[in-house]
Amino acid sequence: MSRIKITDTSLRDAHQSLWATRMTTEDILPILNQLDNTGYHSLEVWGGATFDVCLRYLKEDPWERLRAIRREIVKTKLQMLLRGQSLLGYAHYPDDIVEKFIEKSAENGIDIFRIFDALNDLRNLKVPIEAARKTGKHVQACVVYTISPVHTLDHFVETAKELKAMGADSICIKDMAGLLSPYVSFELVKALKESIDLPIQLHTHYIGGMAIATLLKAIEAGADIIDTATVPLAFGSSQPPVETIVRALQDTEWNSGLELGDLFAVADYFEKIRKQKGFERGVTRITDMKVFDHQIPGGMITNLYSQLEEQKAVDRWDDVLHEIPQVRKDLGYPPLVTPTSQIIGIQAVMNVLTGERYKMCPGEVKDYVRGLYGNPPAPINEEVKRKIIGDLETITVRPADLLPPAWEKCQQEAAPFAQSDEDVLTYALFPQVALKYFEYRQNKEGKDQTPAVAAETMTGQKTAAVQLPGLKNGKRRSGGDGEMDLEDIKELILLLDSTSIGEINLQRPEYSLLLRKSAAGTIDDQAGTTLIPADWKDNTADMSRTIPHKANCHEVTAPIVGTFYEASSPDAPAFVQLGDQVESGQILCIVEAMKLMNEIKADVDGKIVEIAVGNGDTVEYGQILFLIETEQG
Ligand code: CO
């Protein structure tokens, strides 16, 4: 028996779980020296959702964040979470991108690669593990933990053995939903320790409240390393607090060696940041304690709930919670972790909102059913499969075998903006978001004093340049009339070129703006008198427009709140034109909702006599999209 080693997740998973990943590099830098001197085994600082959120919402270069952290952390190992072949994205990338990304991550400062596949499909881990081994850094492979008839102790042990054979230096039990109970944790760790000779690390989430006991039982069973977070970023859907664990193990053979004084210095710092930003402490709600019924990870619960709010369907919350285990069973018991959590979650929402199972399926669900994410742990229900993909064939090869190399293509496409290989990788992972970021960076480099700020909703659907009237030090000074109506923008995160953090309330509290500071410059106090997002347009007129009732006309309505697109991509032709003859089952448009593209199909044969919305318009639940004139009458 020996000392327990501890990984701190405060700079990655903890704020991803509790603060919607909104910790900025400026928040991080001042405490790094203290963290480096605390004696942690490692600091998880990169990967997961941090990369995407840095670019998309914080307008930061994630690579620069990693380098900035590496400059300060000289003693402690830096760790990242990698979604296997999906890297830090939501679908698989070609092998050459995976290899290059891992090589550059190591070069920029990562010491430990924690790698998982949402389905525990080992084929999806082959290339990332090999690439990480090639860098000479530590390769930690994950056994994703979940509960289902096929996820037995044997399954986990066999998976871990194979991961060792593939070259893993250590094994992580990844319990993203906090489903691992204390005594199962004891059995699992014991079984792993007995069958493989590798360090075992336990990653769990507090959620329902068992995590502290789960960690302690794992330690008793021989776990070598555990994950915790600083107390202001612990509890709730995050990790258990380090302070409690360290205290509990004092004067035992597993004493961590960490000093509580050091830990509380870190805690005090993050508590200050938390209060400044107005984030809540981690709490366990009753739905969190019901996690064994619905199996949804805490972070996903929050997302799912806000998606239902967006859909104005909060009253269907219980139905969605009940639907999730059913969809998970139908689709072969995938563990719920990015991206399968989104896939199962949105399908459950669709099933509930449309009132019919699998009537509407986002492209990602179809891809999943076709095997493009890998093999589900158990077979997919045949009837459901037919309903979702019809006669389309499923694939049997490793999904990334179907992806042609993309590095050179990305290099060419990103050439006008990219200043480094890291930029090309950023582009390869998130092309649209990357281009927007590069443009922002160029503008910022051009004129540091710009009073304009970029703003986005939490879901990133809407971008706006906002001019700030009478705003100084984060406080809005004058009331004034004539502000824009923020009717369809619920929440804006303003990335201000200022040092102020605060809140301004518009007329209504629900439109409070959360201000954030970013790199350089100050707000120009004289900058205009109205708040006008650049691309905001008043389409309330459109939405309330009454469609004249026509005889023999069938209404196609939006089954979901989202954005209407007439084509599959900006350069593709529209699915249908006015006057087109369409058949039942034919795709009419796409409504993008919950970050997924949902095809809307005709449910009758007939002629398109009205297209009631414009490309890019926001559509409400039940809003008429098309009128189709049918023959009979
Ligand atoms: Co986690």
Condensed to tens digits (0 to 9), the pLDDT of residues 570-603 reads 778 999 999 999 998 899 999 887 767 788 989 8
What is the spatial order of strands in the sheet that 587-593 belongs to? 596-601, 587-593, 562-565, 618-619
pLDDT of residue 462: 30
Same-domain pairing of 348 and 387? yes
Q: What number of other Cβ atoms are within 10 A of residue 208's Cβ?
A: 20
- What is the overall mean pLDDT for the chain? 84
- Among 36-45, 330-339, 562-571, the least confident range: 562-571
- pLDDT band (50, 70, 90) for residue 191: very high
Within-domain flag for 484: yes
Instruction: Answer whether residue 216 is part of any domain.
Output: yes
How confident is the model at residue 593, as a pLDDT? 79
CA 49 to ligand 1 center in whole angstroms? 11
Q: What integer pLDDT is reported at residue 461 of this predicted model?
A: 30
**Per DSSP, which regions of 520-570 are E strands?**
553-557, 562-565
The answer to whether residues 93 and 228 belong to one domain is: yes
110, 174: one domain: yes
Mean pLDDT of 547-564: 79
Same domain, 597 and 490: no
pLDDT, tens only, 343-360: 999 899 999 988 999 988
Q: Is the pLDDT of residue 536 over 80?
A: no
- Chain-centroid distance of CA 410 in Å reads 23
User: How far, in Å, is the centroid of ligand 1 from the Cα of 579?
Assistant: 51
* Res. 501: pLDDT tops 90: no
Rounded CA separation 112/124 (Å): 19
Distance 160 CA to ligand 1 centre (A): 19
- Cα 433 to middle of ligand 1, angstroms: 24
Domain membership of residue 138 (yes or no) is yes
Q: Residue 284: inside a domain, yes or no? A: no
Which residues pair with residue 81 across a beta bridge? 47, 114
Average pLDDT (542-546) is: 37
CA 421 to ligand 1 centroid distance, Å: 29
Is residue 158 located within the same domain as residue 64? yes
Q: Which two tokens stand for residue 458?
A: 């939490």
Confidence bin at 373 (pLDDT 50/70/90) = very high
Instruction: Say which CATH number the domain at 370 has.
Output: 1.10.472.90
Asked whether residue 509 carries a pLDDT value surpassing 60, the answer given is no
Query: Which three-class secondary structure state does DSSP give residue 155?
Result: helix
Mean local confidence (pLDDT), 457-470? 33
Residue 289 pLDDT greater than 60, yes or no: yes
- Distance from CA of residue 100 to its chain's centroid? 22
Q: Specify the pLDDT at position 403.
A: 96
Residues 263 and 320 in one domain: no
pLDDT at 503: 29
Q: Give the pLDDT band of residue 290 (cuts 50, 70, 90).
A: confident
Interval between CA 204 and ligand 1 midpoint (Å): 6
What was the pLDDT predicted at 47?
97
| Distance of CA 415 from the midpoint of ligand 1 (Å) | 35
Question: Is the pLDDT score of 113 beyond 50?
Answer: yes
User: Any bridge partners for residue 492, and if so which?
Assistant: none
> 103 C-alpha to center of ligand 1: Å?
24
Residues with beta carbon < 5 A to ion ligand 1? 13, 176
- Asked if 434 and 110 count as a contact pair (C-beta separation under 8 A), the reply is no
152 and 226 inside one domain = yes
Containing structural domain, residue 18: 5-277
- Least confident range from 96-110, 185-199, 235-249, 507-521: namely 507-521
Query: What pLDDT does residue 595 have?
Result: 67
Same domain as 119, residue 250: yes
Would you say residue 201 has pLDDT above 70? yes
Q: How far is the CA of 239 from the centre of ligand 1 (A)?
A: 8
DSSP H or E stretch at residue 80 = strand 77-82
pLDDT the model gives residue 542: 38
Q: Confidence class of residue 326 from pLDDT cuts 50, 70 and 90?
A: very high
Are 81 and 34 found together in one domain? yes
Q: Do the domain assignments include residue 282?
A: no
In the prediction, which pLDDT does 569 show? Answer: 79
Q: Report pLDDT for 468.
A: 39
Q: Which two tokens stand for residue 513?
A: 């703006």
Last residue of a domain, one of 540, 559, 574: 540
Instruction: Write down the residue that tokens 């250590």 correspond to.
Output: 170
- DSSP-based three-state secondary structure for 444: helix
pLDDT above 70: percentage of residues in the chain: 82
- The helix-helix angle for 363-370 and 340-354 (nearest 10°) equals 120
283 occurs within a structural domain: no
Query: Ligand 1 center to residue 369 CA distance, Å?
Result: 25
Give the list of residues 6+ apart from residue 119 with CB closer than 8 angstroms, or none. 144, 334, 335, 340, 373, 374, 375, 376, 377
Cα(243) to centroid of ligand 1, in Å? 19
d(CA 123, CA 129): 10
Q: What is the CA radius of gyration of the chain?
A: 25
How far is ligand 1, taken at its centre, from the CA of residue 395, in Å? 30
Give me the numbers of helices (H) and strands (E) for the chain, helices first please: 23, 23
d(CA 271, CA 350): 39
Comparing 152 with 549, the larger pLDDT belongs to 152
The alpha carbon of 105 and the centre of ligand 1 are apart by a number of angstroms equal to 20
User: Do 169 and 38 fall within a single domain?
Assistant: yes
> Is residue 524 assigned to a domain?
yes
| pLDDT for residue 508 is more than 60 | no
- The residue ranking higher by pLDDT, 525 or 314, is 314
pLDDT value, residue 454 = 39
> Considering its fold, how many domains does the chain have in total?
5
Q: What is the C-alpha separation between 295 and 348, in angstroms, rounded?
A: 13
Residues 27 and 132 in one domain: yes
Q: How many CB atoms lie within 10 A of CB 394?
A: 12
Handedness of CA 35, 40, 42, 43 (dihedral sign): negative
Q: Which residues contact 461 (CB under 8 A, 6 or more apart)?
A: 563, 592
Q: Which of the pair, 337 or 548, is modelled with greater confidence?
A: 337
Task: CATH number of the domain at 137, please.
Answer: 3.20.20.70
Residue after which a domain boundary falls, among 242, 277, 312: 277
Average of pLDDT values for 82-98?
96
pTM of the model: 0.78
**386 occurs within a structural domain:** yes
Tell me, yes or no, whether 459 and 511 share the same domain. Answer: yes
Q: What is the mean pLDDT of residues 76-94?
A: 96
Distance CA(341)–CA(324), nearest Å, equals 10
Does residue 214 contact residue 181 with C-beta atoms inside 8 Å?
yes
User: Looking at 368, 402, 436, which one is the last position of a domain?
Assistant: 402
